[in-house]
Chain A
Amino acid sequence: MKARVLVTLKSAVLDPQGKAIEGALRSLGVPGVASVRQGKVFDVELDAADPAKAEATLKEACEKLLANTVIETYRIEFVG
């Protein structure tokens, strides 16, 4: 089973990297970009075939390592 984990900064946390990218896009003349927030994507292959079990595994992975829940939130998506 394949899954994608998205880790993003909580909205209250300042994202200086996102801001820098936003500024670069503006200076490139890319129109209509209101704001940019940078995050991380993890593509994970799992042994489990059972979605509930896979989700539990990924949740554990996020809580233990992939995300720092002080500043980040995570979302799990199954990609087939």
Chain B
Amino acid sequence: MKSAVLVFPGSNREGDAARALTMITGSKPAMVWHAETALPAGTDLVVLPGGFSYGDYLRCGAIAGRAAIMDAVREHAARGGLVLGICNGFQILCESGLLPGVLVRNARLRFICREALLKVERNDTPFTRRYAKGAVVRFPVAHGEGNYTADVETLKRLEGEGRVVFRYVSPGGQRDDTQVLNGAANSIGGIVSEKLNVLGLMPHPENHVDPVVGPTDGRALFESIAGALERA
């Protein structure tokens, strides 16, 4: 499979994303600078990594969401190509209009850097097919603006269409919207596009892939992508 990791000024997790992709899919991704206007020919997966693109100026992800390369990403997504946005990448996908809603300042204003528990709400997406449905996974989070917000209609539509893929849960595996770490509406940690080919999530699955570091719950996400592309 051919993947591309986008690099914006202020991205800082592109190395982690590239390492996880190389380790799990066996092929090294192309690193693509934001000012490019095209993706490398034959790109199957585009990854928007974490970081602080443009120093979070204006709104997090706002300026990167309008970068030159994003037109190519939109075309790639419209063709059904896979797009994965992690943390700042999720913020960029929302700002670019590829995913609905927006990520605002954490409800208690604190930057949260710790492990979070998430429930895998569905395993029939290209990103989650190697997880059991309802599985509770551990991914690290590191964000100041991960509080997912959308208008009532959008939230209703997302829930109705089953587009919430990752949801924050308590240690007991229960959803509690009043206790969610960053205040996200409906405990939303990650959502997919209508055609299930664009995933945005705040936690970092790419940081839990190596047993040397600890848990490896993130591996299955990249294995899922590789598997989905093999089958396609």
Binding site for B on A (CB under 8 A): 13-14, 16-17, 20, 64-66, 68, 70-71
Complex Cα gap A16–B183 (Å): 10
Report whether A16 and B109 are in contact in the complex, using a CB–CB cutoff of 8 Å.
Answer: yes
Secondary structure at chain B's binding surface: helix, strand, loop or mixed?
Answer: loop
Complex Cα gap A77–B75 (Å): 37
Report whether B102 and A71 are in contact in the complex, using a CB–CB cutoff of 8 Å.
Answer: yes
Query: What are 25 A-B residue pairs whose CB atoms fall within 8 Å in the complex?
Result: A13-B104, A13-B149, A14-B104, A16-B105, A16-B106, A16-B107, A16-B109, A16-B183, A17-B105, A17-B109, A20-B109, A65-B58, A65-B62, A65-B63, A65-B66, A66-B58, A68-B59, A68-B62, A68-B95, A70-B149, A70-B150, A70-B151, A71-B102, A71-B104, A71-B149
Binding site for A on B (CB under 8 A): 58-59, 62-63, 66, 95, 100-102, 104-109, 149-151, 183
Which among A13, A64, A65, A68 has the highest number of chain B CB atoms within 10 Å?
A68
A16-B108 contact given A68-B102, A70-B149, A70-B150, CB 8 Å threshold: yes
- B109: A residues at CB distance < 8 A: 16-17, 20
- B100: A residues at CB distance < 8 A: 70
Secondary structure at chain A's binding surface: helix, strand, loop or mixed?
Answer: helix
Tell me the smallest distance from the CB of A19 to a CB of chain B, in Å: 8
Complex Cα gap A65–B62 (Å): 7
A64-B66 contact given A16-B108, A70-B151, CB 8 Å threshold: yes
Complex Cα gap A47–B195 (Å): 43
- A14: B residues at CB distance < 8 A: 104, 107, 183
Tell me the smallest distance from the CB of B66 to a CB of chain A, in Å: 6
- A17: B residues at CB distance < 8 A: 105, 109
Tell me the smallest distance from the CB of A24 to a CB of chain B, in Å: 12
- B104: A residues at CB distance < 8 A: 13-14, 71
Tell me the smallest distance from the CB of B88 to a CB of chain A, in Å: 15
Complex Cα gap A17–B107 (Å): 9
- B63: A residues at CB distance < 8 A: 65
Tell me the smallest distance from the CB of A65 to a CB of chain B, in Å: 6
Which among B59, B100, B151 has the highest number of chain A CB atoms within 10 Å?
B59
Closest to A72 in B: B59
